Each structure stands twice: as C-alpha cells, then as structure tokens.
Chains A and B, each alone.
Chain A
C-alpha cells in the first residue's frame, strides 16, 4: 500500500503539529528540515508544509489524504473535509472587539456596524443570525488599525492572549468561536484508507489527551 500524504500548516501551529505527530508515534519529523524542503519523506509517508488556508484545499481535492489545521481556517473555508479529531493545541478565539470608549463597548448595539476582519466568511455567518445592518470590510492584516483610523466600528479577529487587542485600546464584546488544531481527512481517503486514517486519528487524540494532562499537572 502506498504511503499517505499529509498536509501540515506552516506558521504558529507548525512545530506543535510536528511534535504531536512524533509523540503519537506516527512520524519522526524534524521541523527544521522543512526550512530547506517543503516536502519531507518519513518512511512511506510524505509530509508537506503549506499555508494554513491551503491545508483544506489539499485535503478536499485529494492532493493529501489528511492534514492538520486550525478550526479558524475551517470556519473560513468552504472545503468539504472530514474533521476527525480535536488536537487541543493552537488555542485561540475569534472575537468581536471594539474601542474601549465606543457605545458597543458600553453594551449598546448600533443599528449599523462596519466590521473589519480577515475572516469575512466567518463574519458573514456570525452576523447572519443577528438582525443588524453589517458591512464587512475584508482586510489582510493588522485589522486593529481599522477602528483607530475610522475605517470600521469594530473588528472580528483571532486572539490568543488578548494583548494585541488591549494594546490597541480594543475590548472584547463577544466571542464568535473558540479554535484549536484539528485533524482532517479527505472523503475518499477515509473510505479507501480507512484503517490507516482512523488509526492516526486515534493515536493523535491519545497523544493530545496525554499532552493536556501533562500540561495541567
């Protein structure tokens, strides 16, 4: 049987993804190797390091049988993948935040709202349930600047510690969702390589649970 192709997210989740795969006994990956090559062989399997937003694309289209990616990326993606396990690491939250002195921060929701975000699809779904007149402004970075410059009334953004928000005089209004890293699989691969893929999901879950207990101890 040929090996698996696994998509790993570059960026903040990368090292933890490698070490969880190692801890689960699935792979023996040296994250530093990916600085020199984007595709690394480990036994019969191939690991590729791609942009986090590209992980669901590789997995849905069958370029990789499975992958690891943050839930925040899956919210934003319209790709159909199986989400098999919560890996626990990479915790962050998607929150709506507004300037400390704004009416919104005082608990008053205005009739219309301009929201700056890097997550337009999540914003669309979050506000779909609320009867507000919302204009979503898609930015590609530093969304905290949007309220400061008057471009937007508030931001919908990912925060891990809340420090960036606080540094820009923004306060959290409401949480839209909590995210962690997930193990995802291609639809056909889950059927045709079921035992392999399911075994990885089980091993990753166990390793993630162990890591969590150790972290708590």
Chain B
C-alpha cells in the first residue's frame, strides 16, 4: 500500500471521475436485464422503442426544463460556439422528436426509451452523476385514461423488474397552485408559499401563511400538507369548504383517475397525495411517484405535461414517466438471494478434439445455451470432449456419449 504522501507513479491515470461508476460483470448484467424487463413491458403495452442523442443543444433543453435543472448539466461548446449539454433527462428530447418529425401522428403516439442521463452534481455527495433511465411518453392523448395507463404501466414494469411492495403516490400539479388562487393570497405571498413548498420547507409554508388573510379551508389544507394522502375518500374531505373552481377541478380529475386506476386493478398500491410537490412549471395535470419500502428515493416518477410540445411548435397533450434503473438496481442488490449470475457451460477438450469441442459449443449456442470453450487443451470443464466422445455430468450423474447426445442432454438440463 502507498500512502497519500507518496502516490505511485501514474496514479492519476488510474482515476475514475467522481460520481461515475464501473459496473462489473454481475451488476452490469443485472442492470441490463432490469432495463430489458422494463423495455419488454413497455413494448408489451405497445410503446415503440426509440433512441435520442446523449447531447442536445442547450437552447433545446432550455425550452423544456427550468433554470435549476439547466445549471446542473454538463455543458460544453460546439465547433461553432453554440452551447451543447449532456442530457439530464430525455423527455424533452422525445418531445423535440415528436414535434419536429412525428407531428403527423398517428395519435396517440406511444414511445419508450432507455439511456444515460447526466447531472453535474458536486462530487463526494454520494449522488450519481451518470444514471440510467427508462421511460415512456404517451403523446396526443389528453384524457385521464392516458394518465391511468401510464401509472399502471410504470407499476407493471417495476413489478416485472422484481421490485417488491411498490407504492404509487398520485397527485395533481394544479391542486396546490389552484388552492393558493382560491385562498385569495396576494401574488407575493403566493410566490413565497409556492417556493417554500418547492423547497419542501413546511415550516416556511406556515410562516408565509401567517399574517396573510388566507381563507380557513385553504389554510387548513396547506398546513395539513404532508398528511393529505389516502384513498378516494380524502378527495371529499379536501373538497369541503373550498370555494375556487380550480382546486375542485383538480379533485374531480383525481376522482376520475382513481376510478380508472381501479379498472386497471392497481388501487391497492395507490395513494392519492394532494400534497405532492412537483415541478409546477412543467407538469400540468396528474403527477405520480413510485416508491418501494427499501429505497429512500422514488424509483419512478411522471405526470402530464400538456405545454411542453407547443414550445417545439406542435401543440399536443402528453403524459409519461421515467423509471430510475440504478435506484431499482440498488434496491434489488440490497435484497439477499437475488443474484442472477451468468452460468455458461464450460467445455474442455483433449489433444486433437478441439474441432469437436467447437462443434459442440456451436450447437449449444445455436440452441440458446451459453457456453465457453477452452482455448488450450486439458482444462477442467464440466463437459470434456475427447477423440472417443464427450463426457459430461447431468443431474449429478456422469454420462458419456456422442457430441449430438451431449447437446441433447445439455440443452434440456435444468436451469
């Protein structure tokens, strides 16, 4: 070992950039399988897989996401001096593609993707700067059935990926802004409360409401903020005493959405969450987040964003979601006994039986059995090919036979 005072020559060459990860064989495979399961589920629901670039012009990104998210991007300069950025999320890219290349439809358009996203977070915080996201966008459908489909699909994909005890929290982006409207707050107080909510600082929400003339029903709801959750019944509780039309409309939409989710048979995993804090500048309707009981972060999130596509010149309603593959992978890795390593059949050979060994390996691979063939003679594989035939062990018994017999036996071996 070498101390900090005397780093070995070339130590800087061996560095990996902070906040980035190498995934070695087991974890990398699990992460890929997880992504595959998400995409398979998306495709089973008719969402077509598409790919967008890792880099977008900063102007394109700025049309979609707010300043705080923009400032967390890795940025650099194109050859003509224009600013480019590594994407921090991919919905904006999909919106750009739809508005500029798929604007003729047919709608609704169901699209899905998976890819890296990058955030230039301060190093040493334990946060990832590169992470893998898989997501869906349902574009050109303005009704709540589209929102319900996305929520049900997100839950189905996570469960297909092996997530256990998932919980979906469904909120509405217009409820709290609507509540603030009907509370009769002046614009300054309204901004203060919204900003405090966005910071998740409920102490500041309370002090911002003090000294305002917010109506009682609205004040009560805003202060009960973290506990405004439950089943369909909380909608009636919340509606009592509210005067404004806007919050009532949000509550009505949530009631209809609940019934649709019930039809999707997932309300046992759904909570309505009127206090959901989301990006109010971006989302325009129902929003949701998915949690499991063994992760401190949301595993997935999404919602309706009806204004985004118009910023690219094609006004279309849209809803969608993203699943955080790395957080899901962390959650799986924390649970014992879920390791799915690769177990390729190891083929060895003697003397001049390399031809036969390769033929055996070819046959196995063509039948979908993973196998590794030694590069040198006299290895100790579970399958040994000699000039006089093949020896292998099957269900604990040693067997012997021709190449064809070995292939037949090994193809049918228990997983």
Residues of A participating in the B interface, judged by any CB pair closer than 8 Å: 57, 60-63, 65, 71, 78, 80-86, 182, 186-194, 197-198, 201
What's the count of A-B pairs with C-beta under 8 Å?
64
In the complex, the answer to whether A85 meets B273 with C-beta atoms within 8 Å is no
In the complex, the answer to whether B298 meets A82 with C-beta atoms within 8 Å is no
How many residues on B have C-beta within 8 angstroms of the other chain's C-beta atoms? 25
In the complex, the answer to whether B126 meets A82 with C-beta atoms within 8 Å is no
Alpha-carbon separation in the docked complex, A201 to B224 (Å): 11
A57 to chain B, nearest CB (A): 7
Q: Other than the known A85-B203, A187-B200, A198-B227, what 14 A-B pairs have Cβ atoms closer than 8 Å?
A: A57-B126, A65-B296, A82-B202, A83-B199, A84-B203, A86-B203, A187-B298, A188-B291, A188-B297, A189-B296, A191-B273, A192-B167, A192-B292, A201-B226
Q: A83-B201, A191-B167 are in contact. Are A62 and B227 (CB under 8 A)?
A: no
In the complex, the answer to whether A190 meets B226 with C-beta atoms within 8 Å is yes
Interface residues of B in 109-133 (CB under 8 A from A): 122, 125-126
Residues of B participating in the A interface, judged by any CB pair closer than 8 Å: 122, 125-126, 167, 169, 199-204, 206, 226-227, 229, 271, 273, 289, 291-293, 295-298
Alpha-carbon separation in the docked complex, A86 to B291 (Å): 27
Residues of B within 8 A of A65 (CB): 296
Residues of A within 8 A of B122 (CB): 78
Alpha-carbon separation in the docked complex, A66 to B19 (Å): 25
In the complex, the answer to whether A84 meets B296 with C-beta atoms within 8 Å is no
Residues of B within 8 A of A193 (CB): 293
Residues of B within 8 A of A85 (CB): 202-203
Residue ID in chain A nearest B126 by CB atoms: A61
Residues of A within 8 A of B293 (CB): 192-193
Alpha-carbon separation in the docked complex, A188 to B169 (Å): 10
Q: A192-B167, A194-B227, A198-B227 are in contact. Are A81 and B296 (CB under 8 A)?
A: no
Alpha-carbon separation in the docked complex, A186 to B296 (Å): 7
9 residue pairs A–B, Cβ–Cβ below 8 Å: A61-B126, A62-B297, A83-B204, A86-B203, A182-B203, A188-B295, A188-B296, A191-B167, A194-B229
